[in-house]
């Protein structure tokens, strides 16, 4: 059997939820589980968060398919469609599955008018305070709320929300970039507050702002990455921010060999040995979701020691420097990321963020759910 294995520690997930609650006391938690729970497995993640003490209050997904999966596995909490609906055919699902919908664009108001929902709806009205992605401009908001009141059945409810463009860097304010990011977020908060929407529940903060901008906590927080122990901060890993890594990606060595000075390793011969050395070949590659951009020198944990990759990452295989790790033989455990080795370090080596790596695990990797305390 192929050794590539993703272990998902559900105790760590629940601990991170509690840590989020401690950080933003009093706020309700919309747990973001889009993209298959950031690659950790939608159903398992949502069930653990729903059964936890001080459970998540609602779940956020990006598609009706994901919402259906959540209902089918017994999730009764509110589920928010983070981009709302985009065609009339969505409405029967929204009604049957009892989904909350983000409304962010005039085209959705037109769809709502056509759909004429008879039952009350729960709408998350999204305002673009500076992200320039989804959301109504502040100047449109009063008019949009008036229209919604006319279209929607009596008893409908609203949350008003916005999303930060640079919340990842507002934590430490050590660098000019962080100062700039903090200023950008402060501007977005001011634009939001200028609308004086205090009559509605509000939601602004994703992970970065939960940590870095307490003034943005409001009634609903929207943690994603932090629940999984992930950081997007440029110089702090999840565990340095007080969160526990949830995923461990591991495999085993399936070959070892001694190569001579001048030998080139792997496709393209990108690594050339400068001396006689021992290398190991691990059963994992970009076909499993290990990033090919982490070729040549990315950190890797092998037989209990920190080492690095040599040469290019292939589809099924990865070569590792075994210098000084003489006990690492065929069968030795290799951790690509996890509690032993922060996924943020691999992300940095690959020029991306941790979220992309956990989301990118492919279907041939086996998943195992654990409860390690
Ligand atoms: C994905 C998402 C989040 C979660 O962001 P994190 O940085 O993972 O906490 C929050 N809000 C919205 C609207 C999102 O799409």
Atom in ligand 1 nearest the alpha carbon of residue 168: 7
Say what angle helices 90-97 and 64-72 make with each other, to 10 degrees. Answer: 30
Task: Please choose from 42, 206, 218 the residue to mutate so as to test ligand 1's pocket, defined by most ligand atoms within 8 A of CB.
Answer: 206
How high is the pLDDT of residue 180? 76
pLDDT digits (tens, 9 = 90+) for 43-70: 999 999 999 999 999 999 999 999 999 9
User: In the annotation, is 47 catalytic?
Assistant: no
How far apart CA 77 and CA 80 sit, in angstroms, is 10
Phi-psi region of 201 (alpha: psi -120 to 50; beta: other; left: phi over 0): beta
Are 83 and 104 contacting, i.e. CB atoms less than 8 angstroms apart?
yes
Strand partners, 302: 305, 334
pLDDT at residue 274 greater than cutoff 70: yes
Higher pLDDT, 168 or 132: 132
pLDDT digits (tens, 9 = 90+) for 208-250: 999 989 999 999 999 999 999 999 787 789 999 999 999 999 9
- Take residue 4 and report the two structure tokens written for it: 């590539």
pLDDT digits (tens, 9 = 90+) for 302-332: 999 999 999 999 999 999 999 999 999 999 9
Q: DSSP string of 7-54?
A: EEEHHHHHHHHHHHHHHSTT-EEEEE-HHHHHTT-HHHHHHHHHHSTT
Place of tokens 């009764």: 76
Q: Which of 339, 308, 337 lies closest to 39 in space, CA to CA?
A: 337
Average pLDDT of 77-104?
98
pLDDT at residue 176 greater than cutoff 70: no
How high is the pLDDT of residue 125? 98
Active-site pick, 15, 34, 38, 228 = 34
Q: In which element (H, E) is residue 71 found?
A: helix 64-72
Nearest C-alpha to atom 6 of ligand 1 is from which residue?
224
User: In the annotation, is 34 catalytic?
Assistant: yes
Average pLDDT of 258-275?
94
- Distance (Å) from CA 222 to ligand 1 centroid: 6
- Distance (Å) from CA 118 to ligand 1 centroid: 30
Arithmetic mean of pLDDT over the chain: 95
This prediction's pTM: 0.96
How far apart CA 296 and CA 317 sit, in angstroms, is 13
Active-site pick, 113, 187, 257, 267 = 267
- Would you place residue 170 in the very low, low, confident or very high pLDDT band (cuts 50, 70, 90)? low
- Distance (Å) from CA 276 to ligand 1 centroid: 48
Q: Which of 347, 348, 349, 372 lies closest to 360 in space, CA to CA?
A: 347
């Amino acid at each position: 059997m192929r050794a590539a294995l993703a272990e998902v520690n559900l105790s760590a997930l629940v601990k991170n939820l509690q840590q989020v609650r401690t950080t933003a006391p009093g706020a309700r938690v919309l747990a973001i589980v889009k993209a298959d729970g950031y690659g950790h497995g939608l159903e398992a993640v949502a069930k653990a968060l729903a059964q936890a003490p001080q459970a998540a209050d609602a779940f956020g997904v990006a598609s009706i398919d994901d919402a259906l999966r959540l209902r089918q596995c017994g999730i009764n909490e509110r589920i928010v469609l983070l981009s709302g609906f985009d065609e009339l055919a969505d409405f029967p699902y929204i009604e049957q599955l009892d989904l909350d919908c983000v409304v962010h664009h005039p085209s959705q108001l037109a769809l709502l008018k056509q759909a004429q929902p008879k039952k009350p709806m729960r709408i998350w009205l999204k305002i673009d305070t500076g992200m320039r992605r989804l959301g109504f401009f502040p100047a449109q908001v009063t008019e949009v709320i008036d229209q919604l009141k006319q279209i929607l059945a009596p008893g409908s409810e609203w949350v008003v929300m916005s999303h930060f463009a640079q919340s990842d860097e507002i934590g430490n304010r050590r660098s000019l970039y962080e100062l700039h990011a903090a200023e950008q977020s402060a501007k977005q908060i001011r634009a939001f507050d200028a609308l004086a929407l205090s009559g509605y529940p509000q939601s602004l903060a994703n992970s970065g702002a939960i940590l870095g901008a307490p003034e943005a906590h409001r009634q609903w927080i929207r943690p994603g990455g932090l629940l999984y122990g992930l950081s997007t901060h440029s110089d702090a890993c999840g565990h340095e921010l007080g969160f526990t890594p949830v995923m461990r990606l591991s495999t085993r060595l399936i070959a070892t060999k001694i190569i001579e000075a001048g030998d080139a390793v792997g496709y393209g011969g990108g690594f050339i040995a400068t001396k006689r050395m021992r290398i190991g070949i691990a059963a994992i590659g970009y076909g499993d979701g290990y990033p090919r951009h982490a070729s040549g020198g990315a950190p890797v944990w092998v037989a209990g020691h920190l080492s690095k990759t040599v040469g290019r990452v292939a589809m099924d295989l990865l070569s590792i420097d075994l210098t000084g790790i003489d006990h690492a033989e065929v069968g030795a455990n290799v951790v690509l990321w996890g509690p032993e080795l922060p996924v943020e370090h691999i992300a940095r080596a690959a020029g991306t963020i941790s979220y992309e790596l956990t989301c990118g695990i492919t279907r041939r990797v086996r998943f195992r759910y654990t409860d390690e305390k």
